[in-house]
Amino acid sequence: MRVWFIACLGDAVAPKDLSFISFFVPPGVVNVLVTTPLWVVNTRLKLQGSKFRNEDIRPTTYSGILDAFVQIIRDEGVGSLWNGTFPSLLLVLNPAIQFMIYEGLKRKLRRGIPKELSSLEVFVIGAIAKAVATTVTYPLQTIQSILRVCLHHMLFTFKISRNYLYIQKYGMLGLFKGLEAKLLQTVLTAALMFLLYEKIASCTFRVMGLSNNHYKRR
C-alpha cells in the first residue's frame, strides 16, 4: 500500500503522510468491532419490506431496533451481528487514504514554499482526496452491504463464494453500483470538512500567538 501511493503521488508524499495509515487503523478497528452489530441491524431495518430473489435473504418482521437484535440472536446466533466485519476492517483505510492524498496534494500545490492555500484550493483538493478514497474502497462497501443482509451466519468460505457469484452475475462493474450517489453524498461533505479544518487550524495558531509560518509548514 505504501509503495503504491508513493508511485502514484511521487514526491508529493512524505513519510509523515504515510503515518496516517498507522494513525487511523487502530481506532478504526475498535470502532468497526463495536459498531458493526448496529450497522447490521440498521441495514436490515432499511431493507425491511423489500422483495429479494436471493434465497439467502428472507423477509423480516422487526418491530424496532431491540426486536431486531433479539430475533437475529435467537434465529441466527450472535455471530450474525458481525456479518460484513472483514470488509469493514479493510475500509478503515478509507480516511487514511483520504488524508494522505490530501496532504500530498497540498504539498504539491505549495511547491516547497510555506504558504497558506486559498479556500478554493483547499476545497478542490479535499474533494479530489475523498473522491479517490471512496472510488478505491467502494467495492468493499458493496460486499459489506451484501454480507450484512444475509439472514444466516455463514462460514467465511461460503461468503467468498457468494461474492464470487455476485461478480459472475453482474461483472466487476457491479461492485461499483451506486458509486455516483455515494460520491455526491461524501465528496461535498469532505471538501467542506477540509475547508473548515484548515480555517480552524489557522485561527487556532493565531490565538495561540504562533506565527503564520508555524501553520504554513504543517
* CATH assignment of the domain containing 102: 1.50.40.10
> Got the DSSP string for 103-123?
HHHHHHHHTT---PPPHHHHH
Residue 132 has pLDDT above 90, yes or no: yes
Q: Torsion angle, CA of 52/57/63/69, rounded to 10 degrees?
A: -150
Percentage of the chain lying above the pLDDT 90 cut: 22
Cβ count within 10 A of residue 76: 16
For the question of whether the overall pTM of this predicted structure is more than 0.95, the answer is no
Distance CA 119, CA 155 (A): 49
Averaged pLDDT for residues 41-70: 78
pLDDT of 27 = 83
* Res. 133: pLDDT tops 70: yes
Domain encompassing residue 208: 2-216
How many domains is the chain built from?
A: 1
pLDDT given at position 35: 92
What local confidence, expressed as pLDDT, does residue 187 receive?
Answer: 93
